[in-house]
């Protein structure tokens, strides 16, 4: 009977639509023997490494093998303690290999791993380059919010015959992980990788990182355990700072400092670097400058400082000049604000924004060869961090205004210690 039960567990798994385990209570009914006898046989098969058990108390849904197997001793203990309608049985990979023709999965490496009863939430790590083809292809929607994202074909192109069926793929979720050097990598679960077309599974398999890697803790918390993230991204902090600065501007009776804010719909590209190249770095700097200096509202300074200047040229003619927005902000800060000890901090506040403008102008005036360098993601983070600190300073300066001092409260996390670079 032990072999019959093992074969039934194997057959159920191999024929199931989603690599499911069989409910052990059903084994008792199918074989017409008491649960105590079935339980003894299952205990023997566990010790022989021929089956494993999934428990609702451990993995929520035992019909899908979500998580790695519990140690044998814990499986044995739970088998004695828990109800048979909360336990499912799975064949081990050795049993499957010996009995099942897996050649159907030769072009589906991730589906094959599920067919060998690997846990569906097994994380697989990839080089960031694997995302580039989807990010830059307008046929795909590419959603990424700093530590988690998803990929799919847009509705327009999904319904189009111009897109091959093999390319109509969906990756329900992917996240950020780290290699042993703390460089960013991509992490995705077998469950979702197995749903890719065979062609795209082979593409992803070419970028697998085989060294030791780890998942970002917030991605792990959210996707495996269903917890809210513990931290906030510096990218989100930047967007929130701009929104809060505009709120303060209104409280002190002025127009918004920034013409546009992006909390609801962040610009494409305002994300951690996905491919460490000079081209991607330059594109990010270009975008960041547009979100900062090009986004400053000149109306904010009206009635406080002149928005136009009359400058006499060498030929005696008078020319009307309009200072740039960074110059206006620096002059406004210098005119309107001093620290408690009387210090003018306008130059200090504006310096990072001027540096971003300078970095943007470099590739605009000079042809440069693209290059791949793992230092670029860290450099991007450092520059964004400086920009965030500048925005925080501006927020605090506006908050010190008598009209805002008692009327404004920022989001608690924005001044906490939970802002990170994922």
The mean pLDDT of 351-359, rounded to a whole number, is: 96
The mean pLDDT of 275-286, rounded to a whole number, is: 94
- Looking at residue 160, what is its pLDDT? 87
**pLDDT tens digits, 179-222:** 999 999 999 999 999 999 999 999 999 999 999 999 999 999 99
Domain limits of the chain? 2-99, 103-224, 233-420
d(CA 119, CA 191): 8
With a cut of 60, say whether residue 378 has pLDDT above it.
yes
Query: What pairs with residue 152 in β-bridges?
Result: 141, 170
pLDDT band, residue 374 (cuts 50/70/90): confident
The mean pLDDT of 1-6, rounded to a whole number, is: 96
With a cut of 90, say whether residue 326 has pLDDT above it.
yes
- Looking at residue 368, what is its pLDDT? 72
CB 124 within 8 A of CB 207: no
Supply 407's token pair: 């009327």
With a cut of 80, say whether residue 288 has pLDDT above it.
yes
pLDDT band, residue 317 (cuts 50/70/90): confident
d(CA 45, CA 65): 18
Supply 244's token pair: 């809060």
- Looking at residue 364, what is its pLDDT? 60
Burial grade of 315 (CB within 10 A; 0-12, 13-18, 19 or more) = exposed
With the CA atoms of 421, 234, 132 and 104 taken in that order, what torsion angle do they form, in degrees rounded to the nearest 10? 60
Rg for the chain, CA atoms, rounded: 29
pLDDT band, residue 22 (cuts 50/70/90): very high
CB 177 within 8 A of CB 216: yes
Between residues 287 and 132, which one has the greater pLDDT? 287
- Looking at residue 121, what is its pLDDT? 97
Question: What's the full length of the chain, in residues?
Answer: 422
d(CA 271, CA 24): 47
- Looking at residue 391, what is its pLDDT? 98
**pLDDT tens digits, 132-183:** 899 999 999 999 989 999 999 999 998 888 899 999 999 999 999 999 999 9
177 Rama sector, left if φ>0, alpha if ψ -120 to 50, beta otherwise:
beta
What is the torsional sign of CA 8, 11, 15, 20? Answer: positive
d(CA 339, CA 129): 47
Instruction: State how far Cα 108 lies from the chain centre.
Output: 25
């Amino acid at each position: 009977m032990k072999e019959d039960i093992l074969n039934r567990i194997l057959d159920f798994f191999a024929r199931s639509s989603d690599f499911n385990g069989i409910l052990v209570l059903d084994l008792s009914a199918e074989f017409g023997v008491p649960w105590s006898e079935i339980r003894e046989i299952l205990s023997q098969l566990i010790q022989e490494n021929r089956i494993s058990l999934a428990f609702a108390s451990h993995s929520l849904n035992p019909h899908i093998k979500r998580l790695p197997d519990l140690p044998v001793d814990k499986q044995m203990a739970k088998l004695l303690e828990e109800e048979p309608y909360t336990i499912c049985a799975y064949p081990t990979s050795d049993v499957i290999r010996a009995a099942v023709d897996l050649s159907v999965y030769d072009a589906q490496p991730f589906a094959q791993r599920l067919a060998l009863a690997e846990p569906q939430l097994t994380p697989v790590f990839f080089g960031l380059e694997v995302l580039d083809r989807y990010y830059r292809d307008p046929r795909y929607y590419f959603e990424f919010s700093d530590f988690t994202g998803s990929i799919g074909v847009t509705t327009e192109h999904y319904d189009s015959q111009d897109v091959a069926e093999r390319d109509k793929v969906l990756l329900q979720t992917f996240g950020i992980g780290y290699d042993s050097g703390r460089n960013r990598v991509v992490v995705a679960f077998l469950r979702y990788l197995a749903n890719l077309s065979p062609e795209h599974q082979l593409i992803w398999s070419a970028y697998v990182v085989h060294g030791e890697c780890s998942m970002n803790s917030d991605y792990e918390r959210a996707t495996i355990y269903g917890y809210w993230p513990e931290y906030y991204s510096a990218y989100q902090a930047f967007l929130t700072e701009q929104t809060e600065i505009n709120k303060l501007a209104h409280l002190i009776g002025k127009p918004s400092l920034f013409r546009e804010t992006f909390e609801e719909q962040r610009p494409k590209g305002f994300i951690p670097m996905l491919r460490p190249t000079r081209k991607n770095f330059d594109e990010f700097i270009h975008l960041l400058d547009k979100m900062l200096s090009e986004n400053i509202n000149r109306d904010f300074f009206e009635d406080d400082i002149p928005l136009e200047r009359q400058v006499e040229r060498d030929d005696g003619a008078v020319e009307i000049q309009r200072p740039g927005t960074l110059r206006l902000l620096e002059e406004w800060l210098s005119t309107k604000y001093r620290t408690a000890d009387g210090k003018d901090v306008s130059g200090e506040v504006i310096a990072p924004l001027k540096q971003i403008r300078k970095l943007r102008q470099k590739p605009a005036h000079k042809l440069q060869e693209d290059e791949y360098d793992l230092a670029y993601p860290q450099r991007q983070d450092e520059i964004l961090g400086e920009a965030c600190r500048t925005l925080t300073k501006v927020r605090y300066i506006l908050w010190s205004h008598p009209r805002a001092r008692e009327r404004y409260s920022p989001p608690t996390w924005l001044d906490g210690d939970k802002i990170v670079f994922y």
